[in-house]
Amino acid sequence: MDYTIASKRTPPPTILPPSVGIGLKPQHYEALLDPDYPTSPPEWVEVHPQNYFGDGGPPHRWLTAISEIFPVSFHSVGLSLGSADGLNVHDLDRLAALCDRYPPAAVSDHLSFSGNAHNRFADLLPIPYTYGALDHFAGEVGKVQDRLKRTILIENPSRYLAYRGDEMSEIEFIDRLLARTGCGLLFDINNVEVSSTNLGFSADAYIDAICADQVGEIHLAGHVVEQHDSGPLLIDDHGSRVTPSTWDLYRRFIERAGPKPTLIEWDTDVPQYDVLMSEAAKATAVMRGVCDVVAA
């Protein structure tokens, strides 16, 4: 098996605009499509395709209207690419049908697994960073890309533990995965803060080690901080505003990478549309501020 990291990089597999989008929930549909809404809409949106796996009904009426106006990113949460028993074929079939129906600007899933042939969990569980796991994961990404006839993005996970048998760092695993499969990185900067605090590594060093050309999309989200005797534990709940420290990490990456498609991700305790858009405005301000300074 050739583990050489390719020196020649290919463009990231996305046609999302290098601007800010929002994670879309049903309670935001009307505001998004209202031409008279007092604030400008986002430039693109992201949905979980699993919420549109039915054949018809209101979800598809809304998605049809939205996809005629906005670029849409499909962020899958169910392929379970790291499962030793193989990926979730049922979800892949449905995802392929959805991509035919509403060709998305980007398709993504996670560097994780969510069960095996007998058990499914509603969690994105960490995989070991071993050469064997890399072989397996790269093969599963290849199956998805072959089926969808496009390259996808894989998201770095938020983690609460590391395996004793890890044979490489997460960054090395991602770098090798991208080189072998041609997939891109969905770079979740909140996840870097969560994992670095929980596992005790440098978030700045992680940010600086990521190859900017391979990043097809960025996620920004909030998290919860629990205080324990052993120190703080960060829980990646996507249920609040982006933290000041995550904004600092985002600014650090954008200063080097330039404008990138950036998503405000908010999945629990979902706020009013205006709150989501105020977070999007912050991300736009960071991106414009950094890029204006660089251009000056």
The residues, any chain, with a CB within 8 Å of residue 171's CB and separated by 6 or more, are: 206, 209, 210
Least Cβ distance, residue 188 to Fe ion (angstroms): 4
Question: Dihedral sign, CA of 190, 149, 88, 67?
Answer: positive
Least Cβ distance, residue 78 to Fe ion (angstroms): 14
Residue 140 or 188 having the CB closest to Fe ion: 188
Count how many residues are written for the chain.
296
Residue 48 or 60 having the CB closest to Fe ion: 48
Least Cβ distance, residue 265 to Fe ion (angstroms): 5
Angle at 116 (CA atoms; ends 198, 166), nearest 5 degrees? 40
Residue 130 or 197 having the CB closest to Fe ion: 197
Least Cβ distance, residue 122 to Fe ion (angstroms): 15
Least Cβ distance, residue 57 to Fe ion (angstroms): 27
Least Cβ distance, residue 126 to Fe ion (angstroms): 14
Enumerate long-range contacts of 127-131, CB under 8 Å, 24 or more apart.
127/82, 128/163, 128/165, 128/166, 129/163, 129/166, 129/167, 129/168, 129/169, 129/170, 129/172, 129/173, 130/163, 130/165, 130/166, 130/167, 130/168, 131/1, 131/3, 131/167, 131/168
The residues, any chain, with a CB within 8 Å of residue 187's CB and separated by 6 or more, are: 155, 156, 210, 215, 217, 218, 219, 253, 260
Residue 30 or 254 having the CB closest to Fe ion: 254
Closest to 245 in 3D by CA, of 166, 187, 192: 192
Residue 219 or 223 having the CB closest to Fe ion: 219
Least Cβ distance, residue 291 to Fe ion (angstroms): 23
Residue 28 or 219 having the CB closest to Fe ion: 219
DSSP for 8-63 reads SPPPPS----SSEEEE--GGGHHHHH-TT-SSPPPSEEEE-GGGG-SSSSHHHHHH
Q: Which two tokens stand for residue 251?
A: 């600014």
Q: State the residues that interact with Fe ion by CB under 5 A.
A: 188, 219, 265
Identify whether the C-beta of residue 157 lies closer than 8 Å to the C-beta of residue 111.
yes
Residue 88 or 190 having the CB closest to Fe ion: 190
Residue 33 or 171 having the CB closest to Fe ion: 171
Closest residue (Cβ) to Fe ion? 219
Least Cβ distance, residue 216 to Fe ion (angstroms): 13
Q: Which residue type, as a one-letter code, is found at position 99? A: C
